[in-house]
Amino acid sequence: MIRTIPSPHSASSGVGSLPHTDPKEACDLVLAFQPEYPTAPTLPARTPYEAIITRDAEYLPGGVLKGNSLHLDRSIDFSLAMEQIYLDFMEGNYENHAPSHEGYAGGYHELAGRDLSGVVCTKVQVTGPVTFGLTITDGDRRPIAYDAQYFDMLSKMLALRARWYESLIGKTGTPDTLVIIDEPYFAALGSSVMQVDNGMVEASFEDFSSLIQGGIGFHCCSNTDWGFLISLGPSCISFDAYAYATEFLLYKDDIVSYLEQGGVVAWGIVPAEVDKFEKESTSSLFERYLAIRTALSEYIPVDLFDAQAMITPSCGLRLADVSSSVAITKTVAEITGMVRAL
pLDDT at residue 101, rounded to an integer? 84
Exposed (0-12), middle (13-18) or buried (19+): which is 95, by Cβ within 10 Å?
exposed
pLDDT at residue 29, rounded to an integer? 98
pLDDT at residue 193, rounded to an integer? 65
Helix (H, G, I), strand (E, B) or coil at 311: strand
Residue 35 gets which letter from DSSP? S
Walk along the chain (342 residues) in steps of 10 and give the mean pLDDT of each run: 94 97 98 98 94 93 87 94 97 96 91 97 97 93 94 98 98 98 89 78 96 97 94 98 97 97 98 98 98 96 98 97 98 98 97
pLDDT at residue 192, rounded to an integer? 63
Go through the domains of the chain in sequence order and give each one's CATH number: 11-340 (3.20.20.210)
Longest dimension (CA), the chain: 61
Phi, psi for residue 214 in degrees, rounded to 5? -100, -145
Model pTM?
A: 0.96
